[in-house]
Amino acid sequence: MDAATPRDLDQLDSEALKALVLALREQVFSHRKQIASRDVEIEHLKLLIAKLRRQQFGRSSEKREHQIEQLELRLEELEARRTKETAAVEESAPPSTAAARPVRHPLPDHLPREVRKVLPKQEACPDCGGKLKHLGEDVSEILEYVPASLKVIQYVRPKLACAGCERIVQAAAPSRPIERSIAGPGLLAHVLTSKYCDHLPLYRQSQIYARAGVGLERSTLAEWVGGSGRLLAPLVEALRRHVMAAGKLHADDTPVPVLAPGLGKTKTGRLWTYVRDDRPAGDSTPAAVWFAYSPDRKGEHPRSHLSNFTGTLQADGYAGFDQIYQAGRIQEAACWAQYGESFTISRRRINPRLRLKLWNASQRCIPSRKKSEGARLRSGLKFATSAADRCWTR
């Protein structure tokens, strides 16, 4: 039923007013039911996302990350729709009945503040015409976005000539990050951040700059990315030395789709991650991550990366690490999550490699204080072996 204006209500009799009230009441109950159902789904999605984040480690971490992204998109859609549908109700409802809003956190102090004073229109008291004096003030804040802008920096180098010998003097041209390039360091940093942190391809960045009236071809941006990589190579090498100087590392790899030129499709490369972080153990050394790319997952790649490392390596059950451990220079710190996923019993036999790893891990726990962990490992190994033997006799 369409909403009636106050003038229309005056023309309705008692029966029509009752019917209108009942119809509006049904609409209110229907909207409340929809909102309640949506709130329940929102809370369920939040709990599911939190659960997936806690399980975001192990062999299926990439799949869980994709699930989290899809759930977050659904959650954003539901929250936006709820805000849109309840906005009109909150405007007409009294403050006590308005929908509860999430807790608003204060705006960060490091953001610049632009103060705009809103003065009253009256210069004198509107009642008696008396002079107004300052009593206090109310301060409220809104968060605004200043669109990114481009600017051109002109370097002017005057030429000076000697009046006596006609010698010409001129300052040397300032150096540029990339030779014969028009890109400044700030623009290069923005292009790299947009590509690798915000996952914005170069052709889309080219379109964004075109909307600002600046023509930057994708090939030009690609040259800048390559030139920036050469400039950052010494920093990457320093980062690698810092990471490899640790006594304990965390290592993992993740698949990366890479374009295969000439084939019209993608191939799977690998991004190797080496993490140095002993802050949980009270170490004040700065944490760092070093990334290395390889076109495949052969074991020669981690062996090359860790050729100068000596200490403890915590990684998954990837077979490429076995030769590294066998050399004795690097000790294995097994990942319990990977063992939990790998601990499967077949009808014929238990995985011999898994049995050996479990036994070695349990033996390493014996001389340390982790006797309870070693006991549990040996108990699990005994159970798995006996279960496999039972399956074999059947």
- Would you say 212 and 233 are in contact if contact means Cβ atoms under 8 Å apart? no
Query: Tens of pLDDT along 295-353?
Result: 999 999 999 999 999 999 998 878 888 888 888 899 988 766 555 555 544 434 555 66
Is the C-alpha dihedral spanning 55, 58, 64, 69 positive or negative?
positive
The pLDDT, as a whole number, for residue 385 is 52
Residue 94 has pLDDT above 90, yes or no: no
> Average pLDDT of 118-123?
89
Task: Give the Cα separation of 372 and 324 in Å (integer).
Answer: 27
β-strands 160-161, 168-169 pairing: antiparallel
Least confident of 149-158, 162-171, 259-268, 368-377: 368-377
Residue 192 CB coordination number (10 Å): 15
Task: Give the Cα separation of 366 and 357 in Å (integer).
Answer: 15
> Average pLDDT of 45-59?
63
Residue 135 has pLDDT above 70, yes or no: yes
Residue 20 confidence class, pLDDT cut points 50, 70, 90? confident
Query: Tens of pLDDT along 62-93?
Result: 566 666 666 676 666 666 666 656 665 555 55
- Would you say 321 and 259 are in contact if contact means Cβ atoms under 8 Å apart? no
> Average pLDDT of 236-254?
94
Q: Tell me which of 27 and 118 has the higher pLDDT.
A: 118
- Would you say 65 and 52 are in contact if contact means Cβ atoms under 8 Å apart? no
The pTM for the full model equals 0.61
Task: Give the Cα separation of 61 and 53 in Å (integer).
Answer: 9
Residue 191 CB coordination number (10 Å): 21
Q: Tell me which of 42 and 175 has the higher pLDDT.
A: 175
The pLDDT, as a whole number, for residue 258 is 83
Question: Which residue is it, tokens 């909102």?
Answer: 35
Task: Give the Cα separation of 195 and 146 in Å (integer).
Answer: 21
Task: Give the Cα separation of 195 and 193 in Å (integer).
Answer: 5
The pLDDT, as a whole number, for residue 355 is 59
Residue 96 has pLDDT above 60, yes or no: no
